[in-house]
Structure 1
Amino acid sequence: MKFYIFLFLFVLSLNLSQAQDIYTFNKSKEFASYLFKSGQYELSAVEYERLLFVDKNSDSLKIALVNSYYKNGEVDRAVRRTESLYPSLSDFTRTMSELYLQMLILGKQFEKFDQNAVRLPINEKNRTIYELHREVLAGNWESVEAKIPQISASDHPSITGLKNLSSQAKAFKPKKPWVAVMMSAVLPGSGKFYTGNYKDGIFSLFVVGGSAFQAYRGFNKEGISSTSGWIFGALSTGFYAGNIYGSAKSAQVYNQNFWLEIDKDAENIIRSTY
């Protein structure tokens, strides 16, 4: 009789222990979810790592963990963690496939995207949109221009904004460094006016012109032996050469800044729709 009472109490204690474990696990999931929804992504990642240690096969926990790293701005880490959680592409769920491709695009891991995009289980319309996003962030605007008419604005919220950027990219006329050099060689500062750098253009004009005038005054007053003439002449020559070099550089910076702005706007558009 005592044996049966002992057995009953033992089984009861096991059941209570299991119930307590399940209760604790579910509470931890709720807490991790709260951390994620409140924007505390670093802390939610810690909680989801702990939960996955308990339940290694939960797809929902895997996705939540990767999303935590991704939302925390750790795109490369999120990609690596995804690949450790899903060693084979055949293991990817559709939701994880979508998230993985988005991270490869925003992380600009284009080679890996090209290798994996066609092998993951997503529908063709979404695959086409991701391929467009890949071309946009890779700066392949000729390819973008060819692809974008094939996609309707109703297919994805990024399309309208990307169409506008594609039009800007097509209409852009880069400033030619050699033109800026020739202009500044003829009239100091005019090459910088050509690139829209008006303040530097005015400064170059006055500095080169002012030092050249002072050199002229010195030589005109004291002849070839004028100390001030030689000093200002050397300064004027240096400023003139710097003005020419600066004009070429200004054209390059103008072009770079345009494409940096386009790239930044494109990333913001794409990121906001994921």
Structure 2
Amino acid sequence: MARTKEKQPETIGETIKTVIYALLIAGVFRSLFFQPFWIPSGSMKDTLLVGDFLFVNKMAYGYSKYSCPFGICPIPDRILARTPERGDVVVFRHPVSGQDYIKRLIGLPGDTVQMKNGVLFLNGQPQKQVPTAPFVETYEAQGSVGGFPACSNGAVGLGGECEKERAIETLEGGVSHAILNIRDGLGADNTPEFSVPEGHFFFMGDNRDNSIDSRYPQAGGGVGMVPFANLLGRADRVIFSSAGRRMLYFWTWRGDRFFKKI
């Protein structure tokens, strides 16, 4: 009777090699195709909610050194570059802090951008805003940070209905999206006129009174103008969304946001 050859146990060296190969494959996939991103704050409500989980399309605009983890790609500027479009929701690397932000692209190179009494002006022209039903959410701690939302209807108390005024804004070029307002005169409802330099972009959050973005200078902790090289990719679709403190608390997942188009 032939004896079967016993399977040799995997050595520590083979296990380490397997782990290294898996990490390399994951790193290549993350660098070239899609990067996971979890929404930590409410600056993009109601387009994106705290706890939304999505993948960033890194092929959309080509690749720069920031496309690789820790910015280690040996790319001097950008390769396979494709020009972003006004209205895209974009993840980018902050020019100073190095943190990843997600905002809406408002100003292209050569544009002028200004806010007047809460109305966006592009190249001297006001962008159309049409009021619609308010955005309503529960007043409670949100996400892993546990922050509470600001409400336009005053102090509502824990568990109450927190409202924000909502309008549909249509940008030059035809892209329409919802914007939120807490109170007139808050944040950067009035700004000087900004000129977007070549090779840079101007970003704003849809939750206009609760967004640190290009309306605020980098020297003051804001975003300022963002170089093309700092763009990581475009956010196209929410994969799933958790209303709890942890992404994997599946019982808190929002059933209406699976694969929701952005």
Instruction: Settle same-fold status: TM greater than 0.5.
Output: no
Q: Which has the higher strand share?
A: 2
Which one has a bigger Cα radius of gyration?
Answer: 1
TM-score (norm 2): 0.24
TM-score (norm 1): 0.23
Q: Which has the higher helix share?
A: 1
